[in-house]
Chains A and B, each alone.
Chain A
Amino acid sequence: MTLDKLSKGESAIITAIYANRELKNRFNSFGLVKGARISVEERSLGKKTIRVRINKTRIALRSAEAEKIEVKA
């Protein structure tokens, strides 16, 4: 399952990130790494953007980017 499929309030563990190096580095520096627990806090209308949380960090990203993050419940 990918991150964009999670509903508001759900959480999951990141199992893999399929992004190019640049984006992957970005994810990494935000704490989005393999094994981290991530939860979806809010989705904008039309589900174009979602807000997630990892530890104390709140991150907004597009669904298109969230699709690149593989998670399992």
Chain B
Amino acid sequence: MNDAAKHQSGRKIIKVALVGQPNVGKSALINSIGNARLKVGNFSGVTVKKEVVRFVHGDYEFEITDLPGSYSLTDYTIEERVTKKYLDEGEYDLILNVVDSTNIERNLYLTTELLALNKKIVIALNMTDEAVNEGVHINEQQLSKILGARCVKTSALKKTGIDELIDAIIETYNSKLPDLHLQFSEPFEEEIANIVDFLQAKKFQCKISLKALAIKLLREDRQAYQRFHEEPIWIELLPIINKAYQHLYLHYGTKDLEDIFNDEKNAVAKGAVAETVVFEKDNRLSLTDKIDVLLMHQVVGLPIFLFMMWGLFQLTFDIGSIPMDWIDAFFVALIDGTKNFLGHTELASVIADGAIAGVGAVVLFLPNIIILFFGIALLETTGYMSRVAFLLDGFFHKFGLHGKSFIPLVTGFGCSVPAYMAARTLKNDRDRLLTLFIIGFMSCGARLPIYVLFVGAFFAEHHAGNILFLIYISGALLGILAAKILKMTVFKGKDEPFVMEMPRYRMPSFKLIWHTVSGQALMYLKKAGTFILMASVLVWFASNYPKQPELEQAYQVKIEQAVDDAQAKALSNELALSKLENSYLGMIGHASEPFFAPLGYDWRMAVALETGLAAKEVVVATLGVLYGLGDDITEQHTGLIEKIRENISLPAGISFVVFVMIYLPCLAASMVFMREAGGWKYLGYLFIFTTVTAWLLSFAAFHITGMLV
């Protein structure tokens, strides 16, 4: 015990690394400890969540780092990389390995890897209650002896064995590191002994035991080799290791060391189970199996899932709209209040119309995000999400997507912001990026007003519903097609294998779900909020500057001299129009006219599209201003529909709708995309990808309809 590890209160700090395979009730176990305080962060450099739990027990203060669930210490997933790195390089006093008692053999596979690290270790045989129910009886004293580590039976659900577990941790912490107990097969042990003898003879000093070091060398552990490279005894050690390899190759009939070591680990796990576990014959179908017969059924499984998704979206967008109205009302009041308080000054405008309006637009989505993530967390913690991937992977894989891509894509029809965040359920980077890139093709709710306006202008009323449906469906089909193309070009390469455990169904823990949901909601507010604040102020500036005092004065005079209200209103519209035309945004609109000309748009349509980059809702309002109707306009406004019909040709209108379907989502969504994809460069790629696609297809739409009419 060094003094550095002492708390100012005199309590000793025990740092515990919590390790276990996924779905063994790791988080539930530490959450069942009474006075625990949870702190959530990220592991450095990755988006993997890091949870640290602190609590006091007697003279000790515990600091437990909950490492992400890992089937083994390999580099297969980000989670496993994080866990491996922490165990190799992190600072901790001992490892707490949580094991699913009902599935002990497979769990001990990870345990053998942990034992090979030669650290102090305590094993929690969790889910003891369920194991007993299923007729699995473990002799934990015997198992402790075989593994050389304290094993304690626990149940996070029934809250049993927790105190014993804490005592075992304290005891292990205070005792010295035991010798490595792991017993491999004879030939393997022989080679280990050879290396250990040599190192001992050379009086080699090492932090871990020599046996553990020998195992690392035999496994071709890169770090162990890098260290030895600098040691003078390397020259002498090399032939010994070489000979060991030759013996092992001969004995196992393979040159794959990983295979050999895996075989050994399996043998250890199997052996330990054979000696310590009694399985009563249990031919009953478990509850999970019974549920799976229905939920994973090849015919009815899919309809059941679709029904559940339908329910989730009803909840998200129907119930979500209630608090959204409150939030909207609150921000409108706040904007008015600010303007009244500060007067109609530039400062008031930048704070109210720029900052508050922009941040309000972000906060507005919060209820959606909370409900949706609550639903997703529910699907994940109950174990249903893996079944969904199973059901849908066949279809999505054809287009280079993953079964789990479904949820973010469908969410995209509501709003891209939560959709981008929902893509987190995809663990593989390439799958996630590909999904992120095509979410925008699923037309979000905010684009609906634009479609309604243009469909109303160009099509008979009784066709409108069909045309709208066509727009949404063709967007989705385009998205899936785009996925296929991206997969064949940018994201090409071998398919990520699809091998997933279907965990046992569990009753959700609302405490755990709340942790996840609140964490995600806060992260959304914090991260999207800061960017949005900056960007909103920028957009405000672009549409309000440079100032044109002469123009305003001239119009002010005209408006005062107006004969009636109608004329005054027309004049102030004209003023708004020329102010916008001469603002930086208007200049950009004019400058980009040549770019949009082949699609049949004038500068006004160009500006409308560009303001749509801030928020799609703004497009209709901008068109209202630009076609001289004022800015408090909605898609139902017959005046605007008339104006659109008069000023825009049918081919240009259709081309405009196509562009809106495909081009970059709103600012809030773009910022969230940037965060989730992992950098500005991806936003750049998305901008280029969507703009080029939108331009080409709009160009085609313009000319094809031009030929037809």
Interface pair B109/A48, CB less than 8 Å apart? no
Tell me if B429 is interfacial: C-beta within 8 Å of chain A. no
How far is B501's CA from A41's CA once the two chains are assembled, in angstroms? Answer: 13
Determine, out of B56-64, B385-393, B445-453, the stretch whose residues face the partner at the interface: B385-393
Taking CB atoms, residues of chain A closer than 8 Å to B263 are 33-34
With A25-B258, A42-B296, A65-B497 as known contacts, state yes or no: A48 contacts B397, CB within 8 Å: yes
Q: List B residues 19-55 near A (Cβ within 8 Å).
A: 21
Q: List B residues 66-121 near A (Cβ within 8 Å).
A: 71-72, 74-76, 102-103, 105-106, 109-110
Q: Mark A15-43, 1 if CB is under 8 A from B, else 0.
A: 00000011111111111011000000111
- Give B494's nearest chain A residue, CB to CB: A20
Interface pair B298/A43, CB less than 8 Å apart? yes
Interface pair A60/B394, CB less than 8 Å apart? no
Interface pair B495/A46, CB less than 8 Å apart? no
How far is B267's CA from A33's CA once the two chains are assembled, in angstroms? Answer: 11
Tell me if B498 is interfacial: C-beta within 8 Å of chain A. yes
Q: List A residues 33-65 near B (Cβ within 8 Å).
A: 33-34, 41-46, 48-49, 51, 55-62, 64-65
Interface pair B71/A60, CB less than 8 Å apart? no
Taking CB atoms, residues of chain B closer than 8 Å to A31 are 105-106, 109
Taking CB atoms, residues of chain A closer than 8 Å to B705 are none
- Taking the closest CB of chain A, its distance from the CB of B502, in whole angstroms, is 4
- Give B396's nearest chain A residue, CB to CB: A48
Tell me if B566 is interfacial: C-beta within 8 Å of chain A. no
Interface range, B side? 35 or more
Interface pair A30/B499, CB less than 8 Å apart? yes
- Give B77's nearest chain A residue, CB to CB: A26
Interface pair A51/B499, CB less than 8 Å apart? no
Interface pair A62/B393, CB less than 8 Å apart? yes
Identify B394's interface contact among A25, A34, A46, A57, CB under 8 A. Answer: A46
Identify B103's interface contact among A41, A43, A48, A55, CB under 8 A. Answer: A55
Interface pair B499/A26, CB less than 8 Å apart? yes
Identify B76's interface contact among A22, A42, A59, CB under 8 A. Answer: A22
Q: Mark B291-330, 1 if CB is under 8 A from A, else 0.
A: 0100011110010000000000000000000000000000
- Taking the closest CB of chain A, its distance from the CB of B281, in whole angstroms, is 14
With A29-B74, A42-B292, A57-B106 as known contacts, state yes or no: A64 contacts B495, CB within 8 Å: yes
- Taking the closest CB of chain A, its distance from the CB of B492, in whole angstroms, is 17
How far is B503's CA from A4's CA once the two chains are assembled, in angstroms? Answer: 22
Identify A59's interface contact among B21, B102, B265, B499, CB under 8 A. Answer: B499
Taking CB atoms, residues of chain B closer than 8 Å to A61 are 497-500
How far is B501's CA from A53's CA once the two chains are assembled, in angstroms? Answer: 10
Interface pair A60/B389, CB less than 8 Å apart? yes
With A45-B298, A57-B103 as known contacts, state yes or no: A26 contacts B501, CB within 8 Å: no
How far is B71's CA from A40's CA once the two chains are assembled, in angstroms? Answer: 22
Taking CB atoms, residues of chain A closer than 8 Å to B497 are 23, 26, 61-62, 64-65
Tell me if B262 is interfacial: C-beta within 8 Å of chain A. yes
With A25-B262, A55-B106 as known contacts, state yes or no: A44 contacts B394, CB within 8 Å: yes
Tell me if B266 is interfacial: C-beta within 8 Å of chain A. yes
How far is B670's CA from A9's CA once the two chains are assembled, in angstroms? Answer: 48
Taking CB atoms, residues of chain A closer than 8 Å to B500 are 59-61
How far is B295's CA from A60's CA once the two chains are assembled, in angstroms? Answer: 14
Tell me if B259 is interfacial: C-beta within 8 Å of chain A. yes
Taking CB atoms, residues of chain A closer than 8 Å to B502 are 51, 58-60
How far is B73's CA from A28's CA once the two chains are assembled, in angstroms? Answer: 12
How far is B502's CA from A48's CA once the two chains are assembled, in angstroms? Answer: 17
How far is B503's CA from A10's CA once the two chains are assembled, in angstroms? Answer: 21
Count of chain A residues with a beta carbon within 8 Å of a chain B beta carbon: 32
- Taking the closest CB of chain A, its distance from the CB of B643, in whole angstroms, is 50
- Taking the closest CB of chain B, its distance from the CB of A51, in whole angstroms, is 6
Identify B72's interface contact among A29, A60, A62, A65, CB under 8 A. Answer: A29
How far is B259's CA from A25's CA once the two chains are assembled, in angstroms? Answer: 8
Taking CB atoms, residues of chain A closer than 8 Å to B390 are 44, 49, 51, 60
- Taking the closest CB of chain B, its distance from the CB of A42, in whole angstroms, is 5
Taking CB atoms, residues of chain B closer than 8 Å to A24 are 258-259, 262
How far is B259's CA from A48's CA once the two chains are assembled, in angstroms? Answer: 28
How far is B302's CA from A48's CA once the two chains are assembled, in angstroms? Answer: 14
Identify B292's interface contact among A23, A49, A55, A58, CB under 8 A. Answer: A58
Interface pair A59/B394, CB less than 8 Å apart? no
Interface pair B110/A29, CB less than 8 Å apart? yes
Q: List B residues 481-529 near A (Cβ within 8 Å).
A: 495, 497-503
With A49-B393, A59-B501 as known contacts, state yes or no: A28 contacts B109, CB within 8 Å: yes
- Give B74's nearest chain A residue, CB to CB: A25
- Taking the closest CB of chain A, its distance from the CB of B278, in whole angstroms, is 15
- Give A27's nearest chain B residue, CB to CB: B499
Q: Mark B234-271, 1 if CB is under 8 A from A, else 0.
A: 00000000000000000000001011001101100000
How far is B302's CA from A33's CA once the two chains are assembled, in angstroms? Answer: 31
Interface pair B498/A28, CB less than 8 Å apart? no
Taking CB atoms, residues of chain A closer than 8 Å to B498 are 49, 60-62, 65
How far is B74's CA from A26's CA once the two chains are assembled, in angstroms? Answer: 9
- Taking the closest CB of chain A, its distance from the CB of B398, in whole angstroms, is 8
Taking CB atoms, residues of chain A closer than 8 Å to B110 are 29
How far is B495's CA from A51's CA once the two chains are assembled, in angstroms? Answer: 19
Taking CB atoms, residues of chain B closer than 8 Å to A44 are 298, 390-391, 393-394
Taking CB atoms, residues of chain B closer than 8 Å to A56 are 102-103, 106
A to B CB contacts below 8 Å, 17 in the list: A23-B497, A25-B72, A26-B497, A27-B499, A28-B265, A30-B71, A33-B262, A33-B263, A44-B393, A48-B393, A57-B501, A60-B389, A60-B499, A61-B498, A61-B500, A62-B393, A65-B497
Q: Given known contacts A44-B298, A59-B501, A65-B498, what 6 new A-B pairs fall within 8 Å (CB)?
A: A21-B258, A23-B499, A24-B259, A46-B394, A51-B292, A61-B497
The 10 closest A-B pairs by CB, nearest first: A48-B394, A29-B72, A29-B71, A58-B502, A60-B390, A56-B103, A31-B106, A62-B498, A61-B499, A28-B262
Residues of B within 8 A of A (CB): 21, 71-72, 74-76, 102-103, 105-106, 109-110, 256, 258-259, 262-263, 265-266, 288, 292, 296-299, 302, 386, 389-391, 393-395, 397, 403, 495, 497-503
